Structure 1
Amino acid sequence: MSFRKREPQPKPVATRTERRPGQSAREKQQELADAAPVKTFFALLFDINTDEQSWRLGADGEERVGALLEQLRPHGWHVEHDVRVGSRGANLDHLVIGPPGVFVLNTKAVHGEVVVDGDDVLVGGRRRGYVEKLEEEAQRVRACLLAATQRRKLWVQGCSSLPTGSPS
């Protein structure tokens, strides 16, 4: 049950995964909303933080970043969204492959002041493990691609996206 009108998301063009930006997060958000529609309604009405809200904001952010990344396609970039990895439900929010290399993007919808201090990211004064997680994801993608392509060298860069503001 969803109470907020969203613009329909276009299906990605020519992807291997055929997944939409934020699809896993949106599915989880919808599952939580369907399980507790009254709670979801009042949480939206009174702006109460819930797990459903966190997943909704995360999906919104991934969809916004995904729409921006889709603009790279005409320029020779290959873009995948919501790429499932492993058997425990983990995913890469976005995988972008282009002339300079491979980029793993992790989108985080955050509230509070964001401070980047070297390799540390603090949100609302609390240290987050964003950089470490990105490094692990980038190394995992690099290892898989090296094995699949039999190359000796491959540039894979982890990137974090912290979308702000409301969707336009």
Structure 2
Amino acid sequence: MHVINMADHVAEELARASLVSPRRNWRRALLILAALAVLAAVLTAAADLPPWPALVLAALAAAAAVGVIISEARYAGNRTRRAQLHAGLQGQKQLVRVLSVLDDDYYLVNNLKLPGRGDDVDHLVVGPNGVFALETKHYSGRIYRRDGQWYQAKTSRRGFAQPERPIRDPARQLKRNVDYLRACIKRTDPALSRRTRLWIEGVVVFSHPRASIDLAEAERQALPFPILRPAELAERIRGHVPWHGLSRGDVSRLVSMFAHLRTPGE
């Protein structure tokens, strides 16, 4: 299988949420200014120099200390968001591993940015039997639906049940992205879309090893896309029988197109 990595927006957002550069820069500034302030104070006392250089440096060091405190507070406040982004990255990496069993007739495109939208498609598999859009969720705990709303119920490390929390509907999110991607492909290359009768198969994948998908069969059947675990994914893709297959040229043309998709309204 050929792997193509587009811009990793999740990793970029995780880097921003981690505040790596601001925290590092404030700490460096504090160390340098504090050292200079101490040196200036020693020279002032030893050589009977005017005190204002030491005072200025001490004030700057105090300002840098405030910057360190603020950046560390922001970092602590981003803890939940960082955990979510890190979980997303772990889920994406796991899918790359499980899909590596597909042969070289398939392409895996990771993190496809949708033009004109803030969303992206986590993974796209393109092969002779179609195009598959994968929405990856790396949630642990019990995943279930009630009155149309999705929920996650986790258990703490000590074994205590935690309050349920609502989560975004992954099937609805995927359907919105699939419909938009299909419109982008049709706008970018209408001849290919028309000739191949291109259809995109969607799959929602819960990748966390401690996820329990608690959905009745009737609920699963009512969803627009199947809900799978990573171990089921490769076989599902290989076993799919399309209405209209894709030639090697069609596959290459589609994969090349993803680098310059046009918005439907262009």
* Match for residue 24 of structure 1 among 1, 4, 9: 9
On the 8 A contact 1:105/1:160 being kept in 2, the answer is: yes
Q: Distance in 2 between matches of 1:163 and 1:32?
A: 23
Instruction: Give the share of equivalent positions with the same residue, in percent.
Output: 21
Q: Which has the higher strand share?
A: 1
Any unmatched runs of 5+ in structure 2? 25-71, 154-163, 211-266
Q: Is contact 1:82-1:94 (8 Å) kept?
A: yes
Distance in 2 (alpha carbons) for counterparts of 1:143 and 1:50: 35
Per-residue CA deviation, residues 123-168 of structure 1 (Å, 9 max, x unaligned), is 33536321111111111222233341141622211111111138xx
Distance change >3 Å, CA 42–CA 122, structure 1 → 2: closer
Which secondary structure does the structure 1 equivalent of 2:139 belong to? coil
What is the aligned-residue RMSD (CA, Å)? 3.3
Aligned counterpart, 2:99: 69
The residue that corresponds to 1:157 in the other structure is 201
Partners in 1 of 2:207 and 2:87 — Cα distance? 10
Q: 1:98 aligns with which of 109, 127, 138?
A: 127
Of 105, 114, 130, the residue aligned with 2:170 is 130
Letter in 1 for 2:13: K
Asked whether the equivalents of residues 58 and 108 of structure 1 are also in contact (C-alpha less than 8 Å), the reply is yes
Q: Which residue of structure 1 lines up, in the alignment, with residue 186 of structure 2?
A: 146
> 1:104–1:150: structure 2 CA closer, same or farther, 3 Å change rule?
closer
The structure whose residues are more often helix, as a share, is: 2
- Whether the 8 Å CA contact 1:121–1:127 is kept in 2: the answer is yes
| Structure with the greater alpha carbon radius of gyration | 2
CA distance in 2, matches of 1:64, 1:130: 18
Q: Does the C-alpha gap of structure 1 residues 104 and 14 become closer, same or farther in structure 2, counting only changes over 3 Å?
A: closer
Instruction: Indicate if the aligned counterparts of 1:120 and 1:131 stay in contact, CA closer than 8 A.
Output: no
SS in 2 for 1:158: strand
TM-score, length of structure 1 as denominator length: 0.69
2:131 is aligned with what amino acid?
A: V
CA 1:63 to 1:53, structure 2 compared with 1: closer, same or farther past 3 Å?
same
Contact 2:119 2:177 survives alignment (8 Å): no
Work out the CA distance in 1 between the residues paired with 2:144 and 2:203. Answer: 16
1:115 aligns to what? Answer: 144
